[in-house]
Amino acid sequence: MMTPGETRTRLGNRHALIAPDGLVPGALPGISGAVVNVVISPAMGAGFTQLLLTFEAEGHAIFAPGAVESCAYVMAGSCTARIDQSAESLRAGGFVFVPAGTRLELSQPDPGTRVTVFQKHYSLLAGVPAPAPVVGNANDVAGHPFLGDPDARLKTLLPDMPAFDMAVNLFTFQPGARLPFVETHVMEHGLIVLEGEGVYRLEESWYPVAAGDAIWMAPYCAQWFVAMGRGPASYLYFKNINRSPLK
């Protein structure tokens, strides 16, 4: 139990740890019958948005077509995803990516279904057609040893092709496994811990983290992770990719 007046949440200029205890829901257009948390957003300095939706029975989320692309990942429960005219069932681990200009609707959730949604303004690449929608399940995606470490496995959920300007990846670490070095890179991250425990280094701070914690890492935020629990630790994360930093 947290001492009254305490929180593990930390918000800085270059990174944030957002612990679930401090989340406050807010309404968003097109979403009903769901607790909506805007976990990461441009309001804190990020170049993207990370939403957490917890659906009630009859819950419904419509992402209207526009300049924004979206990738929704079902962390628990199940729902139906409608992309334009086609409908897909998503169970835990299921994900859907819709490019800018395409309508996405999430409906018929099991009560308690939890979905993380990453959204960003699409950055068109001259001469390259925009990406098509993608539907899949992380359980069907092979995990590859990260930089040769079989105990740190990375699943890349979206195609790594120039048309895509966002990556959504799933990282699973065996107890004691870690990122091999402190990363510093221009790409941003939004992250949610799905299971297990560990310690995340963000710039000059080291944070114990566990399932449900979310993290924002601004460009060049120094970052490192070690899994510390008795079982595997996994996190889902967003990364902007494939575009010149010179806008």
Selected range binding Mn ion among 72-80, 87-95, 138-146, 182-190, rule: CB under 5 A: 182-190
Closer of 31 and 179 to Mn ion (Cβ): 179
Residue 101 Cβ, how far from ligand UGY at the closest point, in Å? Answer: 27
Q: Is 238 a binder of ligand UGY (CB under 6 A)?
A: no
Residue 150 Cβ, how far from ligand UGY at the closest point, in Å? Answer: 16
Instruction: Count the residues of the shown chain that bind ligand UGY, applying the rule CB under 6 A.
Output: 6
Residues 16-45 touching Mn ion, rule: CB under 5 A, are none
Q: Quick one: which of 63, 209, 239, 240 contacts ligand UGY (CB under 6 A)? A: 239
CA 76 to chain centre: 14
Q: Is 183 a binder of Mn ion (CB under 5 A)?
A: yes
Residues 222-241 touching Mn ion, rule: CB under 5 A, are none
Q: Quick one: which of 56, 183, 195, 203 contacts ligand UGY (CB under 6 A)? A: 183
Selected range binding Mn ion among 53-61, 81-89, 102-110, 180-188, rule: CB under 5 A: 180-188
DSSP string, the chain: -PPTT--S-EE-SSEEEE-GGG------TTEEEEEEEEEE-GGGT-SSEEEEEEEEEEEEEEE-SSSEEEEEEEEESEEEEEETTEEEEEETTEEEEE-TT--EEEESPPTT-EEEEEEEE----TTSPPPPPEEEEGGGSPPEEETTEEEEEEEE-S--STT--EEEEEEEE-TT-B-SS-B--SS-EEEEEEESEEEEEETTEEEEEETT-EEEE-TT--EEEEE-SSS-EEEEEEEE-SS-S--
Q: Is 216 a binder of ligand UGY (CB under 6 A)?
A: no
φ and ψ at residue 43, rounded to 5 degrees: -60, -25
Q: Are 198 and 229 in contact (CB under 8 A)?
A: yes
Closer of 120 and 239 to ligand UGY (Cβ): 239
Q: Which one of Mn ion, ligand UGY, none interacts with residue 113, CB within 5 to 8 A by kind?
A: none
Closer of 63 and 225 to ligand UGY (Cβ): 225
Find the radius of gyration of the CA atoms of the chain.
17
Which residue bears the tokens 């009903």? 32
Q: Is 189 a binder of ligand UGY (CB under 6 A)?
A: yes
Q: Quick one: which of 102, 223, 234, 240 contacts ligand UGY (CB under 6 A)? A: 223
Residues 153-172 touching ligand UGY, rule: CB under 6 A, are 171
Residues that bind ligand UGY (CB under 6 A): 171, 179, 183, 189, 223, 239
Residues that bind Mn ion (CB under 5 A): 183
